[in-house]
Structure formats: C-alpha cells, structure tokens
Amino acid sequence: YGDFNQKIDYVFKIVLIGDSAVGKSQLLARFARNEFNLESKATIGVEFQTKTLAIDNKTVKAQIWDTAGQERYRAVTSAYYRGAVGAMLVYDMTKRQSFDHMARWLEELRGHADKNIVIMLIGNKCDLGTLRAVPTEDAQEFAERENLYFMETSALEKTNVESAFMTILTEIYQIIN
Ligand code: GDP
Ligand code: MG
C-alpha cells in the first residue's frame, strides 16, 4: 500500500467543496499531478486523488476528495464528509455569488463533519485580477469571524496552490501530534 512502497505514517482525508466551476478540480489536478486544463468538464466518477509527502520526517498521504458534480446545495452526501480531517471551501474571486454561498457551504460542512476539522477558505482564480468581484478584505473578515485559514490561489498560474495544501496538512498534523 502506498506510492513506491513507502511506509505511510498518516492518511489525511481532505474534502473540496464550493459551487460548480470555481476551480476545485483544477486545484486538485495542480496539486496532485501538476496539471491544469482550461476546458475542464464537470467531474464525473473520480472520487479522490492522493499525494504522498513528508511533514516533520513523517510520510503523509493526502487523500483529497472532489465533489463529483454534486455541487448543488444539500446534494453532497454525508459519506463525502465522513472521516475528513480537513476541508477547502473554494470560491471564484471573479464570481461574487460563489463567495456569498460560502456561508451555506460552511453550514453544510459543520453539520456533517467532525467538529475538529481544519477548514481553509480559498479564493481561486487570482490570475484574473482585473475581474475581481470579491475584495481580499471581505474574505479575510469572513475567515476571521468563522475561524478559517484563508488564501487566494490560482490553479492556472500555480499561485499558492502548494502552499494552501501544505498549510492545511501541516495544521492537521500538528493537531494530532
Ligand atoms: P469545479 O467545477 O469547481 O471543479 O471547477 P473546474 O476545476 O472544473 O474549473 C472550472 C473552470 O475554471 C475551468 O474552465 C478551469 O479551467 C477554470 N479554472 C480553474 N481554476 C482556474 C484558475 O486558477 N484561473 C483561471 N483563469 N481559470 C481557472
Ligand atoms: Mg469539478
């Protein structure tokens, strides 16, 4: 079990949630395989991807789950959240509505997930700066109020993608150690 037959010390399940088309699948593709696709279609079938990495000399397997086209409100099943130790709440910074929906995604998440889950708010598509519809301060304020980590990313330009996943994984690691 495990990439290259390594000994795996930890498996951390992380779930991606947020409206359709905000870039969840591309963030995952960028992090897990360093790939990006501008014509990405709605995710069908694929449940999760893994990436094995080192934290504090331990081998951690990140198992990252992507909503398989279940982005409508209340369509994500409780099986999706089961066992998750981290969650990324993703909005598209050029689509105000996707940010306004974060409150209800968070409510859904808190209703289903473990109470100690580490949550990160992600404003994706920061490469489209001129089309920005969500000021950084609005997101920061929401994140502080709700006790979430926050980062702006671009799956296209690789900005902060590695950093966002490493931050959440390291935080999870610290909580259990
Ligand atoms: P999902 O429905 O949340 O999984 O969204 P996708 O990952 O399928 O992305 C939806 C669309 O946004 C696709 O056309 C992607 O190529 C595009 N996209 C995703 N991330 C970025 C990004 O960081 N910058 C830009 N410009 N486009 C992105
Ligand atoms: Mg998708």
Ligand nearest 27 Cα, by number? 1
What's the gap in Å between 35 CA and the centre of ligand 2? Answer: 14
Higher pLDDT, residue 42 or 177: 177
What's the gap in Å between 21 CA and the centre of ligand 2? Answer: 7
What's the gap in Å between 155 CA and the centre of ligand 1? Answer: 7
pTM of the model: 0.94
> If you take atom 19 of ligand 1, which residue's CA is the nearest one?
23
pLDDT at 3: 52
- pLDDT tens digits, 65-111: 998 767 776 677 888 999 999 999 999 999 999 999 999 999 999 99
**Distances in whole angstroms, Cα of residue 122 to Cα of each of 6, 24, 57, 67, 111:** 31, 10, 27, 16, 20
User: Would you say residue 122 has pLDDT above 70?
Assistant: yes
Pairing of strands 48-55, 58-65: antiparallel
User: Would you say residue 45 has pLDDT above 60?
Assistant: no
ipTM surpasses 0.90: yes
pLDDT at 71: 72
> Which residues have any ligand 1 atom within 6 Å of their CB?
20-26, 37-38, 40, 43, 124-125, 127-128, 154-156
Residues 147-170: what's their mean pLDDT? Answer: 98
For residue 14, the SS3 value is: strand
Residues 163-171: what's their mean pLDDT? Answer: 98
Q: How far apart are CA 134 and CA 21, in angstroms?
A: 16
